[in-house]
Amino acid sequence: MPRPKKSESGSDPETMTPETMTFEDAFRRLGETAQALEAGGLPLAQATAVYERGMALVQRCNQLLNETELKITQLRDSYPGSAPGPGLQGPGLQGPGLQWNDEETDA
Burial of 52 (0-12, 13-18, 19+ CB in 10 A): exposed
pLDDT tens per residue, range 56-69: 999 999 999 999 99
* Dihedral (Cα; 32, 34, 40, 44), 10-degree rounding: 100
pLDDT tens digit sequence for 26-81? 999 999 999 999 999 999 999 999 999 999 999 999 999 999 999 999 999 888 77
The predicted pLDDT at position 2 comes to 45
Q: Which CATH architecture has domain 18-75?
A: Orthogonal Bundle (1.10)
3-20 pLDDT, tens digit each? 455 555 566 656 789 999
Rounded distance between C-alpha atoms, residue 29 and residue 24, angstroms: 9
Could you report the per-residue pLDDT of 84-105, keeping only the tens digit for each? 555 555 544 444 444 444 555 5
pLDDT at 16: 85
